[in-house]
Structure 1
Amino acid sequence: MNHLPGEELKASIALIPNKPGVYEFYDANQKILYVGKAKKLKKRVQSYFQKEQTSARLKLLVKKITSIEFTTVESDQEAFLLENNLIKEHQPKYNIQLKDDKSYPYIVIRNEPIPRLYFTRRKVQDGSEYFGPYTGVKHVRAIVNLAKELHPLRTCKLDLSPDKISQGKYKVCLEYHIGNCLAPCTGEQSASEYNEGIDTIRKILEGKTSNIIDALIERRNQATQELNFEQAHYYQKKIEKIQEFRMPSLVENLGIEQADVYQILHKEHGSAIHHIKIREYSIIFSTINQVIPKLHEDDEELLLQAIRKFTMAQPLEAIPPIIAPIDLDFPFAPVNVPERGEKTGYFL
């Protein structure tokens, strides 16, 4: 039997227009139970009370609703952004959850004049740049080691502000003497030179390796012409290291330059979202996150929640095309559904 709304809820529903927007369900303590978006708000909200609910959790949700609030917007894009912000802020009990990724490692470039680079499992909102999450520490260590081989980086925790460096507060350490650091702490290496290396590493972490490799090839060839074979060998080793970072995949043959690929995996004990980042024809990132459905959401809702999690922290104009097994109503990037014969190229 359906839980029918009381007179106050009926009055609230009657005021909801059939326009795009976001709705919020509240319990008796005015705590948000659920946030959703819809192209037609009234129709979507009424559906919770009109149709026979087969999910026990959904029946429980509807029974707890004591008030409804809504916000109309001008477009699907605005609705998506507002829904995303409300879910992020309030973490409603009945919204879909992806398994918390705090246990996964990230690579961080610290927000410092002479930035450190290392891996961490904890994200701090301090202006630093985080790359990931990655699915394993082994891969993260390999990337960090690659970065240090390409450009010697500091590992100390000293405050390398310009004033302290110019005042000669520090002396070179063992890392400098064994060649692991070029001593930006004493001015032996300038901040601009150090940060050029950081910029190169940043581009590699973003998957933008083609221009870097081209520049290194040019420098290697120039050194060879000048008979500076030691320098040519130095550049060649860098080229090989960057090429090793690019994960081999089928996408190069399929002609996919840039995309985010999402697949939903249904297993006996639950579901998961497989997310792959493709940049410059190479897979640079792959992760699988368990998804915890709350209200018997369909595949489209589960996939959209994953896309929200992985894309909405970046500028909207930077969101790449999306490849998914089904058509999705995502307003910020084109969604491509591969033809039947292509699917094995992207999906597990």
Structure 2
Amino acid sequence: MQSPYYNADQINLLPNEPGVYKFINSSQELIYVGKAKNLKKRVSSYFNKSKGINRKTLKMVSEISKIEIALVNTEADALLLENSLIKKNQPKYNILLRDDKTYPYICITKERFPRVIVSRKVIKSQGTYYGPYPSSKAMRAVLDLIRHLYTVRTCTFNLSEENIRKGKFKVCLEFHIGNCQGPCEGLQNEEDYNNDIEHIRHIIKGHLGEVRSYFQQRMQDMADTLEFEKAQAFKEKLESLELYQAKSQVVNPAIASVDVFVIVSDDKMAFINYLKVIDGAINVAETIEVKKKLNEQDQDILSLFMVELRDKFASTSKEILTNIPLDTDFENIKLTVPQIGDKKKLVDLALKNAIYYKKERYSRIESKKELELRVLKQMKDDLQLPNLPLHIECFDNSNIQGTNPVASMVCFKNGRPSKKDYRKYNIKTVVGPNDFASMEEIVGRRYKRLKEEAQSLPNLIIVDGGKGQLSAACNALKSLGLYGQIPIIGIAKRLEEIYYPEDSYPLHIDKKSETLKLIQRLRDEAHRFAITFHRDKRSKASIQSELDTIGGIGPKTVDKLLKTFKSIKKIKEASLEDLSAVVGKDKAGKVKQSLS
């Protein structure tokens, strides 16, 4: 399918230079961002019919209404700009890092006598953030080491020189148990405290060498002046530091700081493992999964997420190890695909992680599918259904004291809710609280429409109720000539009995049965959906009726007020000027007077 944009002359005018291209649709929405070493060559490939283009790419090309480009100096700059634009705009045809996790950070606050705190939100004005930490356990290990080696305050007092001089604060329990040296009373000077904070920054960054050298020097100094107790204290700190490093996964001290990125993929998904190595120890280990959208190449995916992950984990390493060669030329960064030695072992370790994650991910998907299929097979046997109930629909009514009668239908496909197929119904033909007639109406309306539109019918219908509701639903099916074609049951609330049409005796299924649990889940979901709809409708009617009682205020004015202020509460809180701007001074006065 050809794009309405396509113009060979315009494509030929594109420069043979590196840059970023943006595809925009007729609604002026950015639908795709890409980078290229050669913009003319890359963009023209989308419109070249001689090349094999997959169906998804053809669909994207058919939507292109405009192309914009941005020239850059190098391909590395193009990659950075592409990453920035994707994160900012999230175009629908670009792969994205779907990450709903909020990882923790360690923050050193910007204040006199800084604190070391944990935060899941980055507020740059608050301090300097380190992380994020994919594992809370790893972060706690760093914090435990810091608290063991240094006495950093935990209070939130404003320790300005003036406040300390005036004696505004008193030392707390942390001082008495040795966890703080009392800067709040001026018992620790700022220079010593900041020296400790500087060491803490090195530890958080994984640069332990400088801290180790400091402790060794201090231990030796104390020993030389015969202050053996202080020397022992520094020795214990040194041992704690070395024990912490021993527990870290040490690769090889000769490998200073490198990033390791590997990718394994198939037609649908890609799995990337990232190892951040600092001073020979693995500081971060993270695996992400990426859902492919346009049959992207591994090289393109890995290049994009290298930028993403290095930014996320604040990496400044000048060397990157990978399992596949990349065309991208990262400025001042060495890209290597190691073949032997310790660096090859690092890449193999990352590959092992990625492959394990991939197997485990697909195993979970398969296990879930197998469980759902097993439950549906059990339901087919328990209910003696002719076919596997892959498509189930369940109905429920809702009315309170006969007001605002509504109904709902929820749909499960393959044992899971299919929310796009849920339906809400206002009862149209029934006056008063008549559950049986209401059930007959909504079931009739639902399957009359499916029949007229030649849509697929469910494998099972469930109605919330006993013999009366089930009989009403059956009458609706009979009037449409569908009775006997679709299995239908009712579930009564009192004893959770299952009723069949024209059968006086209910079926009692084991309360622990997976079949009954799935039926109950459908029934409860239909009830929740109906109640929510009923509550919204009742609330809207209540607001509407309160405004309708105001003399000189008609339905159009009521609609204007509700559209602008959203609720009766906000209408009451609005000033006369705000109301006048919407409905005029005369009507605003009437509204204000009536609601005040």
Q: Which residue of 1 aligns with 2:35?
A: 37
Structure 1 window deviating more from structure 2 (142-151 vs 107-116): it is: 107-116
1:268 deviates by 10
Contact 2:263–2:271, Cα closer than 8 Å, also in 1: yes
1:127 deviates by 5.8
SS at match of 1:103: coil
Contact 1:99–1:292, Cα closer than 8 Å, also in 2: no
1:323 deviates by 0.6
Q: Which residue of 1 aligns with 2:22?
A: 24
Q: Which residue of 2 aligns with 1:251?
A: 251
Contact 1:96–1:305, Cα closer than 8 Å, also in 2: no
Q: What fraction of aligned residue pairs are identical, expressed as a percent?
A: 36
1:108 deviates by 1.7
Contact 1:304–1:330, Cα closer than 8 Å, also in 2: no
Partner deviation per Cα, 1:196-244 (whole Å, 9 max, x = no partner)? 1111011112121112212211221232333322212211221122223
Q: Which residue of 2 aligns with 1:14?
A: 12
Q: Which residue of 2 aligns with 1:108?
A: 107
User: Partners of 1:175 and 1:205 in 2: how far apart?
Assistant: 23
Contact 1:9–1:67, Cα closer than 8 Å, also in 2: no
1:307-318 residue pairs with structure 2 within 5 A?
307-312=306-311, 318=316
1:303 counterpart letter in structure 2: L
Contact 2:320–2:334, Cα closer than 8 Å, also in 1: yes
1:52 counterpart letter in structure 2: G
Partner deviation per Cα, 1:257-316 (whole Å, 9 max, x = no partner)? 121111224489943321111122222222222333332222212211221113347999
Q: Which residue of 2 aligns with 1:168?
A: 167
* Correspondence for 2:45 among 41, 44, 47: 47
User: Partners of 1:11 and 1:114 in 2: how far apart?
Assistant: 65
Q: Which residue of 2 aligns with 1:227?
A: 226
1:149 deviates by 1.2
Q: Which residue of 2 aligns with 1:336?
A: 336
Q: Which residue of 2 aligns with 1:4?
A: 2
Q: Which residue of 1 aligns with 2:270?
A: 271
1:114 deviates by 2.4
SS at match of 2:87: helix
SS at match of 1:251: coil
Structure 1 window deviating more from structure 2 (123-132 vs 29-38): it is: 123-132
Partner deviation per Cα, 1:139-158 (whole Å, 9 max, x = no partner)? 21121111111111122223
Q: Which residue of 2 aligns with 1:260?
A: 259
SS at match of 1:261: strand
1:7 deviates by 4.9
1:327 aligns with 2:340: no
CA RMSD of aligned residues (A): 2.7
1:341 deviates by 6.3
Q: Which residue of 1 aligns with 2:480?
A: none
User: Partners of 1:63 and 1:166 in 2: how far apart?
Assistant: 72
1:46 counterpart letter in structure 2: S
Partner deviation per Cα, 1:88-136 (whole Å, 9 max, x = no partner)? 3323232222232642222222232322212222222326322222222
2:338 counterpart letter in structure 1: P
SS at match of 1:108: strand
2:45 counterpart letter in structure 1: S
1:36 counterpart letter in structure 2: G
Q: Which residue of 2 aligns with 1:296?
A: 295
1:83-94 residue pairs with structure 2 within 5 A?
83-94=82-93
2:285 counterpart letter in structure 1: S
User: Partners of 1:190 and 1:20 in 2: how far apart?
Assistant: 55
User: Partners of 1:268 and 1:41 in 2: how far apart?
Assistant: 26
Change (3 A) 1:251 1:204: same
Change (3 A) 1:185 1:88: farther
1:188-207 residue pairs with structure 2 within 5 A?
188-207=187-206
User: Partners of 1:326 and 1:226 in 2: how far apart?
Assistant: 57
Change (3 A) 1:293 1:115: farther
Task: Return the TM-score normalized by structure 2.
Answer: 0.53
Contact 1:20–1:74, Cα closer than 8 Å, also in 2: yes
1:59 deviates by 3.1
Q: Which has the larger radius of gyration?
A: 2
2:130 counterpart letter in structure 1: F
Structure 1 window deviating more from structure 2 (142-151 vs 116-125): it is: 116-125
Task: Return the TM-score normalized by structure 1.
Answer: 0.88
User: Partners of 1:88 and 1:269 in 2: how far apart?
Assistant: 21
Q: Which residue of 1 aligns with 2:81?
A: 82
User: Partners of 1:285 and 1:313 in 2: how far apart?
Assistant: 11
User: Partners of 1:62 and 1:166 in 2: how far apart?
Assistant: 70
1:250 deviates by 5.7
2:251 counterpart letter in structure 1: V
Contact 2:276–2:285, Cα closer than 8 Å, also in 1: yes
Change (3 A) 1:290 1:164: farther
User: Partners of 2:181 and 2:240 in 1: how far apart?
Assistant: 20
Contact 1:9–1:68, Cα closer than 8 Å, also in 2: no
Partner deviation per Cα, 1:147-183 (whole Å, 9 max, x = no partner)? 1111111222233344433443322222222221222
Q: Which residue of 2 aligns with 1:61?
A: 60
Which of the two has greater helix per residue? 2
Structure 1 unaligned blocks of 5 or more: none
User: Partners of 2:230 and 2:113 in 1: how far apart?
Assistant: 26
Partner deviation per Cα, 1:177-199 (whole Å, 9 max, x = no partner)? 22212222332222222221111
Q: How many residues align?
A: 343
